Amino acid sequence: MYAVSLVGTVARVDAGARELLERRSFAEGTPTATFRDAQLMLCEVAELLDSHRPFRLERHEDRVGAAVRHVVEAVYERGQVRQTAVDSEAVSVARQGAGLVERDGWLFLPLGRAEPICRNWRSVFEVLSDRLEGISDRYGQLARRLRNSEGAASHRRACDTVREMLDVLRSSLERLTTVRDYVSIRTDHDQTELLETAKRQMTAFSGDTDA
């Protein structure tokens, strides 16, 4: 798997909130589709996390870690990222120390269990954790706007659901990154329990029992 699968999906959830906040009103169209899409995308994130455990969350050494984070942040901002859009030194360091792949000018950061790419998970989780608080706040702003409007109660519930799912995801990632060694059977069990619980909670919030 590549980082864009996780990072890009969360970024699209964020983009949906930003787009709605820019509207002066929702008279042009209801926000229901945005909230439903966000729920489906967050269920997809939960599925991806659950299916790729266990994670080894050791850090890269500082120089490589900084380069990887630079690439991950570019992926968050742009989706698929061209090599020319990222600092050339960061690309070189991430290629040598983190397995960064270039294909037809596009950059792909791999995620897996082998060295050194197993260390990329930590950088991805830390970037997402940093962003999720702001995304949750944006959906909170939308929820407050909806409560003060005459819109359908279903819109407010859908928005609250997205925020609850975001909070579950953020809490799960933060709990995963509080422990540095994820190589023992006991730790694998802990990850499994945590991620399965997170997936169940997010699926239950969305009402999508097939997720």
* pLDDT attached to residue 190: 57
Residue 78 in any domain: the answer is: yes
* pLDDT attached to residue 150: 65
Residue with tokens 């798997």: 1
* pLDDT attached to residue 186: 43
Question: Minimum mean pLDDT among 17-21, 132-136, 199-203: which range?
Answer: 199-203
Q: How many residues does the chain have?
A: 211
pLDDT in tens, 162-196: 999 999 899 888 888 875 544 443 445 456 666 67
Closest CA to 83 of 93, 72, 71: 71
Residue 18 in any domain: the answer is: yes
- Determine the Cα–Cα distance for residues 115 and 131; give it in Å rounded to an integer: 26
Residue 87 in any domain: the answer is: yes
Could you say which DSSP state residue 207 is in?
A: T
∠ CA(117), CA(87), CA(1), 5° rounding? 25
pLDDT-derived band at 210 (thresholds 50, 70, 90) equals very low
- Better-scored residue on pLDDT, 176 or 203: 176
Residue 210 in any domain: the answer is: no
The number of domains in the chain is: 1
> CB–CB of 95/109 below 8 Å?
no
* pLDDT attached to residue 185: 36
Residue 174 in any domain: the answer is: yes
Residue with tokens 């953020």: 170
Residue 35 in any domain: the answer is: yes
Give the structural domain span for 164: 3-205
pLDDT in tens, 54-94: 787 888 999 999 999 999 999 999 988 999 999 999 999 99
Measured between its terminal Cα atoms, the distance across the chain in Å is: 19
* pLDDT attached to residue 147: 81
From the centroid of its chain, how far is CA 160? 18
* pLDDT attached to residue 79: 86
Residue 84 in any domain: the answer is: yes
CB atoms within 10 A of CB 193: 10
Residue 211 in any domain: the answer is: no
pLDDT in tens, 9-58: 999 999 999 999 998 776 555 688 899 999 999 999 988 988 887 787 88
